[in-house]
Amino acid sequence: MEKEKFGFGSGVVIFFLGIILLLFTFYVVYSVFTNPEALSGFQALAPQVGGELGQVIGPVVNVMTYLVAALLLWVMGSISGRITKYGISMYKTSKEEEKTS
C-alpha cells in the first residue's frame, strides 16, 4: 500500500516538474521572440575575425547564433516533455498496481 502511494505521489511531483520546465521553456521562447536582442549574448561567444574573411563569416555567425539558441530551446523542451511523460507513466503504473492488489 505504501509503495503505491509513493509511486502516485512521485508520479504527480515529476509530472508537475515537467510541466513547470515546459512553461519555463515557453516563457524563454516568448521572451526571445518578443525581444530578439536577447540573442546578442550568443554572438559575444563567437570569435571575431577581421578583414575579408570576417566579412564573409560574419553573416554565417549571425545565423549560427539563432540556430544554437533554437537547438538549446528544442533540447530544453524535449527533455521537459520526457520528464512529464515519465511522471504520467509513474502515475499510471501506481494506479494499475493499486487495482491489482
Amino acid (1-letter code) at residue 33? F
Q: Is 82 exposed, middle or buried (0-12, 13-18, 19+ CB in 10 A)?
A: exposed
What total number of domains does the chain contain?
Answer: 1
**pLDDT tens digits, the chain, 101 residues: what are they?**
566 667 778 888 999 999 999 999 989 888 887 887 777 776 777 777 777 777 778 788 778 878 888 888 899 999 999 999 999 998 888 777 767 76
Domain carrying residue 25? 2-100
77's enclosing H/E stretch is: helix 51-100
pTM: 0.71
